[in-house]
Amino acid sequence: MGKNKLKKFAEIEEWDCVLQYPREKLINEGFPHRGKWNENIFSKSSPIVLELGCGKGEYTVSLAKSNPDSNYIGVDIKGARLWSGAKQIEKESIPNATLLRAEIENIDKFFAPGEIDEIWITFPDPQMQKARKRLTSSRFMSLYGKILKPGGIIHLKTDSPFLYEYTKRLVEENGYEVILATDDLYGSGKADPESAIKTFYEDQWLSRGKKIKLITFRPSFDNPPVEPFADDIPKDDYRAYTRHTPLTPAQQP
């Protein structure tokens, strides 16, 4: 492990805005702030919004700064990624933003039933070969149902045509209420201040001419989520390229 990563890990250990809880301790003792996030972590009781797979925490921080009446938690397992957002939260003393280093598969261990008002899923890996790993799959929807309040909403923002179509099918298959669905967020004129927040990587996709998709929906968990048929959805043709690799002429928009 490089010295830079070691330095980042050491720093986030010292910052109050980053919560880390070893899996073994989580399983054996439980999470002490479960059901008490507003009481124990934030300065005031407000709706709680999660960003799952938050990476550097850019979206979480931007949402928190623009909406002081809600509390925001960015979740990611990569500590070195979280460092950027954590540094900004500490430097600017942002009271309604914090970061949680955790596996999303264990999210129900950190939050009580109905504790979460809203979930943002921003630019996740579409996991085209493994449905159970998709953050909008029926498996993960079941997890979200354990923490999302009745009437709570979920947003998926993605550059992936595959994941967008898959999620639309899941929403339709389960009869969830669609609040907004667009395969061209900025071209449609439907972007609002929250959905228009751009991360570093989103700017890269936009510079390549890729359209950003957004689907916002209100799930119901009266019945177990059903997995949609997705075998016929065309796979994305550019995911094999790294974020810094130029598109070939055949891949240009």
- State the amino acid at position 75 in one-letter form: V
Catalytic site residue from 117, 125, 183, 236: 125
Q: Is position 125 annotated as part of the catalytic site? A: yes
Residues involved in catalysis: 125
